Amino acid sequence: MTVLIDLNSPARRPAASQPEAGAAASQPDAVAGVAAPVRRSLAGLSRDGLREALADIGVPDRELRMRVAQLFNWIYVRGAVSFEEMTTISKVLRAALAERYTLDRPEVISEQISVDGTRKWLLRMPATGPHDKGAEIECVYIPEADRGTLCVSSQVGCTLTCTFCHTGTQRLVRNLTDAEIVGQVMVARDRLGDWSVPGPNKASKAIQHDDDAAPAGRLVTNIVLMGMGEPLYNFDNVKAAVDTMSDGDGIGLGKRRITLSTAGVAPMIGKAGEEIGAMLAISLHATTNEIRDGLVPLNKKYKIDEVLEACRNYPGLSNAKRITFEYVMLKGVNDSPAHARELVRLLKGIPAKINLIPFNPWPGTKYECSDWDTIEAFSEIVFRAGYASPVRTPRGRDIFAACGQLKSETEKLRARARLMLETGGDPAAEAAS
Ligand code: SAH
């Protein structure tokens, strides 16, 4: 059974008298036809972003460091939704902040809760221009006994067109900003009630260690960039978002708890290790270039050998810090015992985990999930080679929640078309942007 809560119904809309409470209220009233400037949200911004926002309202240089630290704590430890509640900040500054900024999150359009506790949110990002109604993305929370994993998106749609992936059927609209990536974590923690309790002890309950035990009191303990999009095609924003999420004075999820999943953009893998430093997952899915070309078209550009070579050189690898190889089980395509043996051979020498993912079918797909016996036989070969518990249990099937097959039904304007609209069809302006 699926519980679908429509958060757009009038009863659930934030009251208009609480300007910081929701995106719907973020546009101050226009006076006599003159549009007032839209207040920007600070929720999701990096330290640098907050610094700029404070400087923009005239906070003197010498105070910036301290003010950023205060805002960072209120936003990322306490989950503040209004400047009013920021009692460690002077009233004057709070008023100045509220005049120019909000703490709006991406708008929650719907929330679905699966029988197994998995939750899926459809979120609408603030509009980027007059002709943008606001891109929609999905975000999934998967609770397990020892952890709670949040699957976030890095782009709206995806350019990769992997043939078994639902997102691949959607046209890319745009990259998400770092604030929009972090905003997904903010929404999940809001909806789950996962912020530190207010009080004199402002300890951030940071999760810096790689302890497998459940960190006390935290519901979102891990983040995977496995939703819509290819994170390595949105490198700078993903890097900034991971920095914000892993900052020990804020959300405090150590980089060992954040996993970046890529279809294999080989030249960016080493750079990701050095500059982002998150855990790495590779969507491998096949053991020959011929099969992988048909599943992950990016393979035509970066072949299996090249991707695995980049993995071998991934900084900091050890048995305690392994690369996860994802392998979606597709009936009659990549699921034979010979494929399993080849997989083991290919990964030799790389500290690796293998995740066998039962294919999650979607309407119109030409693929089927492998039979259970086939998956077991495959898994047995992988297991005998020393890789433990490799089959990922499907979660939230009743709400169509598998990461990587997220898809929103609205706002599918191509980036080009949207730019044309925004620039009034001026090709020069379009080219310059
Ligand atoms: N572009 C990145 C992240 C998004 S996909 C990447 O390719 O890794 C996240 C994961 O979900 C990938 O391993 C992807 O192959 C997998 N996936 C996509 N569609 C799926 C489906 N229908 N069933 C099972 N897994 C799927």
235 contacts 279 by C-beta, under 8 angstroms: no
Selecting among 136, 180, 403, 411, the annotated active-site residue is 403
* pLDDT band at residue 423 under the 50/70/90 scheme: very low
Residues 159 and 100 both lie in one domain: no
Number of domains comprising the chain = 2
Residue with CA closest to ligand 1 atom 22: 360
Point out the ligand 1 atom lying closest to the alpha carbon of residue 229.
Answer: 1
Q: What does the pLDDT look like over 74-133, one tens digit per residue? A: 999 999 999 999 999 999 999 999 999 999 999 999 999 988 899 999 999 888 777 777
Q: What is the pLDDT of residue 363?
A: 87
Q: 82 CB contacts (<8 Å, ≥6 apart)?
A: 18, 20, 21, 98, 103
Lining ligand 1 with CB less than 6 A are 164-166, 226, 230, 261-263, 283, 326, 328, 357, 359-360, 362, 402-405
Give the residue whose CA is nearest to atom 15 of ligand 1.
283
Catalytic annotation, pick one of 136, 138, 230, 411: 138
According to the model, what pLDDT value does residue 6 have?
40
**Same domain membership, residue 93 and residue 161:** no
pLDDT in tens, 378-410: 999 999 999 875 677 777 777 766 554 554 433
Residues 212 and 169 in one domain: yes
Does any domain span residue 22?
no
CATH for 91:
1.10.150.530
For residue 149, tell me if it sits in a domain. yes
Catalytic status, residue 138: yes
pLDDT category of residue 346 using cuts at 50, 70 and 90: very high
8 A C-beta contact, residue 401 and residue 140? yes
Q: Output 167 or 41, whichever has higher pLDDT.
A: 41
Whether residue 294 is contained in a domain is answered as yes
Least confident of 178-182, 307-311, 417-421: 417-421
Burial of 261 by CB count in 10 Å (0-12 exposed, 13-18 middle, 19+ buried)? buried
- Terminus-to-terminus CA distance in the chain, angstroms? 46
Pull the structure tokens for residue 333: 């395509």
**Binning pLDDT at 50, 70 and 90, where does residue 207 land?**
low
Q: Tell me, what CATH number does 323's domain have?
A: 3.20.20.70
In a domain, 362, yes or no: yes
Are residue 185 and residue 248 in the same domain, yes or no? Answer: yes
Please check whether residue 193 lies inside any domain of the structure.
yes
Output the six-digit token pair for 168: 């691949």
| Residue nearest atom 7 of ligand 1, based on CA coordinates | 263
Instruction: Dump pLDDT digits (tens) for 23-47.
Output: 444 444 444 556 666 889 999 999 9
**In a domain? residue 27:** no
Q: Which atom of ligand 1 is nearest to the CA of 405?
A: 19
51 lies in a domain?
yes
| pLDDT at res. 97 | 98
Question: Nearest residue CA, atom 26 of ligand 1?
Answer: 404
What does residue 292 show for φ and ψ, rounded to 5 degrees? -65, -35
Top mean-pLDDT range of 26-30, 197-201, 358-362, 397-401: 358-362
On whether both 272 and 374 belong to a single domain, the answer is yes
Q: Rounded to the nearest whole angstrom, what is the distance from the C-alpha of residue 162 to the centroid of ligand 1?
A: 8
Does 350 lie in the same domain as 332? Answer: yes
Structural domain range at position 51? 40-104
On the question of pLDDT at 170 being above 90, the answer is no
The token duo for 366 is: 């030409």
pTM here is 0.85
* Domain co-membership, 285 together with 338: yes
Q: Are residues 141 and 128 both part of a single domain?
A: yes
Same domain, 264 and 126: yes
Give the per-residue pLDDT at 174. 87
User: How many A from CA of 165 to the centre of ligand 1?
Assistant: 6
Q: Alpha-carbon distance 358 to 367, whole Å? A: 11
- Examine the residue annotation and report whether 139 is marked as an active-site residue of this protein: no
Segment 279-288 mean pLDDT: 98
Is residue 67 classed exposed, middle or buried when 0-12, 13-18 and 19+ CB atoms within 10 A define those classes?
buried
Distance between CA atoms of 135 and 116, rounded to whole angstroms?
Answer: 28
Q: What integer pLDDT is reported at residue 4 of this predicted model? A: 43
